Amino acid sequence: MPVKLKFWDEQIATKFAGFVPDKGIDGFLGITIDSFEPGQLVASFKVLPEMVTMIGNIHGGCISAFCDHVLGVVLYPAMPKGSWAATTEFKINLLRPVSEGVCTASAEVIAMSKSTAVVRIDVTNKKRLVAAAQGTCLIMGPQS
Protein backbone atom coordinates (compact mmCIF):
# COMPACT_ATOMS: atom_id res chain seq x y z
CA MET A 1 0.00 0.00 0.00
CA PRO A 2 2.19 2.91 -1.25
CA VAL A 3 1.56 6.21 0.51
CA LYS A 4 0.32 9.25 -1.42
CA LEU A 5 3.05 11.89 -1.29
CA LYS A 6 2.22 15.61 -1.21
CA PHE A 7 5.57 16.52 -2.70
CA TRP A 8 8.11 15.05 -5.10
CA ASP A 9 11.30 16.67 -6.39
CA GLU A 10 12.60 14.67 -9.35
CA GLN A 11 15.83 16.69 -9.40
CA ILE A 12 16.75 15.69 -5.85
CA ALA A 13 15.94 12.07 -6.65
CA THR A 14 18.26 12.20 -9.69
CA LYS A 15 21.01 13.82 -7.62
CA PHE A 16 20.86 11.06 -4.98
CA ALA A 17 20.75 8.35 -7.64
CA GLY A 18 24.07 9.52 -9.09
CA PHE A 19 25.81 10.11 -5.76
CA VAL A 20 29.01 8.19 -4.95
CA PRO A 21 29.75 8.45 -1.19
CA ASP A 22 33.43 8.83 -0.26
CA LYS A 23 33.11 9.05 3.53
CA GLY A 24 30.72 8.15 6.34
CA ILE A 25 29.31 4.69 6.81
CA ASP A 26 27.72 4.86 3.34
CA GLY A 27 31.23 5.44 1.99
CA PHE A 28 32.61 2.50 3.97
CA LEU A 29 29.88 0.28 2.54
CA GLY A 30 29.89 1.92 -0.91
CA ILE A 31 26.09 2.33 -1.01
CA THR A 32 24.58 3.43 -4.33
CA ILE A 33 20.98 4.43 -5.06
CA ASP A 34 19.96 2.38 -8.08
CA SER A 35 16.47 3.69 -8.68
CA PHE A 36 14.19 6.27 -7.13
CA GLU A 37 10.43 6.66 -7.52
CA PRO A 38 7.95 8.64 -5.40
CA GLY A 39 7.95 6.92 -2.00
CA GLN A 40 10.23 4.08 -3.09
CA LEU A 41 13.88 3.45 -3.81
CA VAL A 42 16.26 0.62 -4.54
CA ALA A 43 19.82 0.83 -3.17
CA SER A 44 22.72 -1.61 -3.05
CA PHE A 45 26.25 -2.29 -1.88
CA LYS A 46 28.81 -4.91 -2.83
CA VAL A 47 30.07 -7.21 -0.08
CA LEU A 48 33.83 -6.67 0.21
CA PRO A 49 36.34 -8.93 2.03
CA GLU A 50 36.91 -6.28 4.72
CA MET A 51 33.24 -6.49 5.78
CA VAL A 52 33.48 -10.23 6.46
CA THR A 53 34.08 -11.32 10.07
CA MET A 54 36.07 -14.32 11.34
CA ILE A 55 32.92 -16.46 11.14
CA GLY A 56 32.81 -15.92 7.38
CA ASN A 57 29.72 -13.69 7.15
CA ILE A 58 29.40 -9.95 6.96
CA HIS A 59 28.77 -8.13 10.19
CA GLY A 60 25.05 -7.63 10.87
CA GLY A 61 25.96 -4.01 11.55
CA CYS A 62 26.62 -3.53 7.82
CA ILE A 63 23.03 -4.42 7.02
CA SER A 64 21.55 -2.43 9.88
CA ALA A 65 23.61 0.64 8.92
CA PHE A 66 22.49 0.12 5.30
CA CYS A 67 18.83 0.14 6.41
CA ASP A 68 19.32 3.12 8.69
CA HIS A 69 20.84 5.05 5.74
CA VAL A 70 18.15 4.13 3.23
CA LEU A 71 15.38 4.93 5.73
CA GLY A 72 16.29 8.61 5.61
CA VAL A 73 17.34 8.89 1.96
CA VAL A 74 14.00 7.65 0.59
CA LEU A 75 12.36 10.77 2.08
CA TYR A 76 14.58 13.51 0.63
CA PRO A 77 12.81 14.09 -2.68
CA ALA A 78 9.48 13.93 -0.83
CA MET A 79 10.25 16.86 1.47
CA PRO A 80 10.28 20.61 0.76
CA LYS A 81 13.79 21.86 -0.16
CA GLY A 82 15.96 22.55 2.87
CA SER A 83 14.24 19.95 5.04
CA TRP A 84 16.12 17.05 6.51
CA ALA A 85 15.17 13.62 7.81
CA ALA A 86 16.73 11.72 10.69
CA THR A 87 15.98 8.13 11.66
CA THR A 88 14.59 8.20 15.20
CA GLU A 89 13.95 4.52 15.59
CA PHE A 90 13.90 1.30 13.63
CA LYS A 91 13.64 -2.43 14.08
CA ILE A 92 15.37 -5.02 11.97
CA ASN A 93 15.11 -8.79 11.61
CA LEU A 94 18.29 -10.33 10.24
CA LEU A 95 16.96 -13.42 8.46
CA ARG A 96 19.94 -15.11 6.82
CA PRO A 97 23.74 -14.79 6.86
CA VAL A 98 25.40 -12.93 3.98
CA SER A 99 28.93 -13.77 2.86
CA GLU A 100 29.38 -12.43 -0.68
CA GLY A 101 27.67 -10.79 -3.65
CA VAL A 102 25.46 -7.71 -3.62
CA CYS A 103 22.95 -6.60 -0.95
CA THR A 104 19.94 -4.78 -2.37
CA ALA A 105 17.43 -2.78 -0.32
CA SER A 106 13.91 -1.91 -1.44
CA ALA A 107 12.54 0.87 0.74
CA GLU A 108 8.92 2.04 0.76
CA VAL A 109 7.34 4.97 2.61
CA ILE A 110 4.17 3.55 4.22
CA ALA A 111 3.05 6.66 6.13
CA MET A 112 4.09 10.30 5.98
CA SER A 113 3.02 13.50 7.71
CA LYS A 114 4.71 16.92 7.90
CA SER A 115 6.84 15.83 10.85
CA THR A 116 7.32 12.06 10.61
CA ALA A 117 7.42 9.19 8.13
CA VAL A 118 7.36 5.42 8.54
CA VAL A 119 9.37 3.31 6.10
CA ARG A 120 9.66 -0.42 5.44
CA ILE A 121 12.74 -2.04 3.93
CA ASP A 122 13.46 -5.46 2.41
CA VAL A 123 17.10 -6.46 1.91
CA THR A 124 17.93 -9.25 -0.54
CA ASN A 125 21.17 -11.05 -1.40
CA LYS A 126 21.36 -13.63 -4.19
CA LYS A 127 17.57 -13.32 -4.69
CA ARG A 128 16.80 -14.28 -1.10
CA LEU A 129 15.35 -12.03 1.61
CA VAL A 130 18.15 -11.53 4.18
CA ALA A 131 16.71 -8.72 6.31
CA ALA A 132 13.44 -6.87 6.94
CA ALA A 133 13.31 -3.50 8.68
CA GLN A 134 10.70 -0.94 9.73
CA GLY A 135 11.33 2.47 11.23
CA THR A 136 10.47 6.12 11.72
CA CYS A 137 12.14 9.29 10.49
CA LEU A 138 11.69 12.68 12.04
CA ILE A 139 11.29 15.41 9.41
CA MET A 140 12.63 18.90 10.08
CA GLY A 141 11.25 21.61 7.85
CA PRO A 142 13.45 24.33 6.31
CA GLN A 143 12.57 26.91 8.97
CA SER A 144 12.26 24.60 11.94
Q: Distance between alpha carbon 127 and the CA centroid of its chain, in Å?
A: 18
* Nearest distance, CB of residue 5 and its own copies, angstroms: 14
Tell me the closest approach of the beta carbon of residue 96 to its own copies, in angstroms: 8
By C-beta, is 13 or 133 nearer to its own copies? 133
In the complex, minimum distance from the CB of residue 132 to its own copies, in angstroms, rounded to a whole number:
6
Binding residues vs its own copies (CB under 8 A): 1, 3, 23-28, 50-53, 55, 57, 59-62, 64-66, 68-69, 72, 84, 86-97, 110-111, 115-116, 118, 120, 122, 124, 129, 132, 134, 136
Nearer to its own copies, 26 or 107 (CB): 26
Q: Which is nearer to its own copies, 40 or 134 (CB)?
A: 134
3-state secondary structure the chain: CCCCCCCCCHHHHHHHHCCCCCCHHHHHHCCEEEEEECCEEEEEEECCHHHECCCCCECHHHHHHHHHHHHHHCCHHHCCCCCEEEEEEEEEEECCCCCCCEEEEEEEEEEECCCEEEEEEEEEECCEEEEEEEEEEEEECCCC
How far apart are alpha carbons 9 and 39 in whole angstroms?
A: 11
We find the least distance from the C-beta atom of residue 130 to its own copies, in angstroms, to be 9
Instruction: CB nearer to its own copies: give 12 or 94.
Output: 94
In whole angstroms, the minimum distance from the beta carbon of 76 to its own copies comes to: 12
